[in-house]
Amino acid sequence: MDFDREWYRERATRMTVVAHIFGILALILMLVWLLHYRGGLDLDSDNPYRILNVHPFLMFFGFIFFAGEAMMVYKTVIADTRVQKMIHMMMHVAAITLGIVGIYAAFKYHSKQNLTNMYSLHSWIGLSTFILYGFQWLFGFVTYWVPRPQSTRALFSPWHVCFGRALLYMAICTAETGLMEIFTILKLVDNHEARLINFTGLAILLFGITVDLSVAFARHV
């Protein structure tokens, strides 16, 4: 039994390291894309495209990356369980807060360009994911921070983890459809920029997969 737990612990740790590599790689690629090809990020800019650039940056780094970190915190932070839970909760708060700003940037861009809101599959999946994510956080807070019988927490724990992993994949799906939508909005003709976006999307996908594997292995520790 101890051997099995050690085996899973080692795999979870390795997957956590790999997840960080893909997450940082995706962040670097996205910054190169937005700063080099798209002219930077500015939520208060008169240029609507610089406002739009805030959206993919915050929805990945602010929302998906922090959400993934929150899920892996039990492997990346060596501390008392209550400290781990606090960091887990606060990272989710950071993801929600930055996600709100990222969503606001998309609506502001639409307003600047006189575009209809919530017309695409990307926006439908994205907003649904974000709302469910908020409910997931609220459920976790009520279940694990408000005094409850240990048996109740144990009963809901698998469901909490399962929905968290499902929401991660929904967020990844939203990011991938969003990057594809960028091609339509910007009418990209530069093959170098197109490849950069594709590699960014691939890195985001691999980040999500390795985060999920890390959580899956950690469940057996």
CATH number at residue 63: 1.20.120.1770
Q: Is the per-residue pLDDT at 122 higher than 90?
A: yes
- Compute the mean pLDDT over every residue in the chain, rounded to the nearest whole number: 92
Longest Cα separation, the chain: 61
**How confident is the model over 73-121, as pLDDT tens digits?**
977 777 788 888 899 999 999 999 999 999 999 999 999 999 999 999 9
What is the reported pLDDT for 139? 94
Q: Is the per-residue pLDDT at 176 higher than 90?
A: yes
Is pTM beyond 0.85 here? Answer: yes
Indicate the number of domains in the chain: 1
Domain that holds residue 66: 2-218
Closest CA to 30 of 198, 177, 183, 181: 198
Which tops the pLDDT comparison, 200 or 220?
200
Rg of the chain taking only CA atoms, in angstroms: 19
**How confident is the model over 61-74, as pLDDT tens digits?**
999 999 999 999 97
Contact 99, 67 (CB under 8 A): no
- Cβ contacts of 142 within 8 Å, gap of 6 or more: none
